[in-house]
C-alpha cells in the first residue's frame, strides 16, 4: 500500500484562504463549483489542499470570489530556500487565517466589525484578554 502524501503547506494555505473567502461571501462549495464548472467535491479537495490549484484556475477563483489572486497567498508559509528582503514581510500568523476559516471565527469577526464604537470594541478585546488571562498575550 502506498502512503498518502501530505498536502504542501502552501497548497493548504491557499485552499484555506479560498474557503475563508467563500464563507465570507456566504457561498456554498456547490455554488462555487458550479461557477467554476467543478463538482463540490473538487472544491472541497482544493480547500483542504489535497489538490493543487493551477494558475488559470486560481485566477478564475479570484474572479468568482471577487478578490485579487494575491489574497490567497497573504500570510502563506515561508518557502524553504527563499530568503525575503529584510523588513519586507509583516508577521501574519497562520492561526489568524485558520480562525477566520471557521464558521465561529467568521461570525465573530463579522459581528465585531459591525460595532461602530471603537471604545466599545477595545473594551470587548480587553474583556476577552482578561478571560484567557495575561499569560496568553
Question: Is there a single domain that holds both residue 69 and residue 35?
Answer: yes
Give the domain extent around 128. Answer: 102-137
Which residue ranges in the chain fall short of pLDDT 70?
1-4, 79-95, 134-137
Question: Is there a single domain that holds both residue 112 and residue 57?
Answer: no
100, 18 contact by CB (below 8 A): no
Question: Is there a single domain that holds both residue 106 and residue 122?
Answer: yes
Positive or negative torsion for Cα 82, 86, 90, 94: positive
For 110-135, how does the pLDDT look when each residue is reduced to its tens digit (9 = 90+)?
Answer: 888 899 998 999 999 889 888 988 55
Q: How far apart are CA 126 and CA 130, in angstroms?
A: 6
Question: Is there a single domain that holds both residue 1 and residue 21?
Answer: yes
Question: Is there a single domain that holds both residue 97 and residue 117?
Answer: no
Q: How far apart are CA 29 and CA 63, in angstroms?
A: 16
Domain count for the chain = 2
Question: Is there a single domain that holds both residue 72 and residue 14?
Answer: yes
**Cell numbers standing for residue 93:** 500568523
- Domain membership of residue 134 (yes or no) is yes
Amino acid at each position: 500500500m502506498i502512503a498518502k502524501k501530505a498536502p504542501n503547506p502552501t497548497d493548504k494555505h491557499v485552499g484555506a484562504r479560498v474557503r475563508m473567502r467563500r464563507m465570507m461571501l456566504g457561498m456554498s462549495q456547490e455554488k462555487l463549483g458550479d461557477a467554476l464548472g467543478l463538482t463540490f467535491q473538487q472544491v472541497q479537495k482544493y480547500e483542504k489542499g489535497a489538490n493543487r490549484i493551477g494558475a488559470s484556475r486560481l485566477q478564475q477563483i479570484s474572479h468568482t470570489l471577487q478578490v485579487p489572486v494575491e489574497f490567497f497567498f497573504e500570510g502563506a508559509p515561508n518557502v524553504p530556500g527563499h530568503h525575503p528582503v529584510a523588513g519586507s514581510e509583516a508577521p501574519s500568523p497562520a492561526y489568524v487565517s485558520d480562525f477566520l476559516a471557521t464558521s465561529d471565527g467568521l461570525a465573530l469577526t463579522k459581528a465585531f466589525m459591525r460595532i461602530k464604537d471603537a471604545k466599545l470594541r477595545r473594551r470587548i478585546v480587553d474583556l476577552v484578554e482578561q478571560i484567557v488571562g495575561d499569560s496568553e498575550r
